[in-house]
Amino acid sequence: MKKSKIDLFNNLIEWLIYMLGYALILVLVSLIFKETIYIDSSLYGLWGILASIIIYFLNKTIKPLIVWLTLPITALTLGLFYPFINVLILKITSIILGNHFNINGLFMSFLVAILISIMNMILDEKIIKPLLRGEK
């Protein structure tokens, strides 16, 4: 295969891994904390998948800009502000999906954001880098 086809395939695999990870976190948290996080289960889970896609898209597009803009605050708080960026991404997703995806309360948003951050680190270090880039 040509280099561009390999890159496209690697990007597709990376995207699928992240979608599964986001969907898993969102579904598990919504099953455990039914009163505080709601994902519409109509249309055979379409809203959970759509929430995962929106979170992935926002993480790849808007999040780097937000991280850059809030770098001084993050540095002053020794990195403690960083999870709040993920809270903002979740709130934007909630606004986009309206009644189909809702997180009630700052604590629940913060918990989901921390779980997504941990999942991102684990997926990147243990699965994506070794699988796609040939690292050990």
Helices (H), the chain: 3-32, 42-69, 71-76, 82-97, 106-122, 129-133
The structure tokens listed for 136 are 């050990």
Q: Is the pLDDT of residue 54 over 70?
A: yes
Each residue's pLDDT tens digit, 88-130: 999 999 999 999 999 888 888 888 888 888 888 888 888 887 8
pLDDT band for 133, please (50, 70, 90 cuts). Answer: low
Q: What DSSP line would sit under 106-117, residue for residue?
A: HHHHHHHHHHHH
For the chain, what is the mean pLDDT?
Answer: 86
Each residue's pLDDT tens digit, 57-75: 998 899 999 999 999 999 9
The values of phi and psi at residue 84, to 5°, are: -70, -25
Q: What is the pLDDT of residue 29?
A: 87
Residue with the bigger pLDDT between 45 and 98: it is: 98
Model confidence, pTM: 0.82
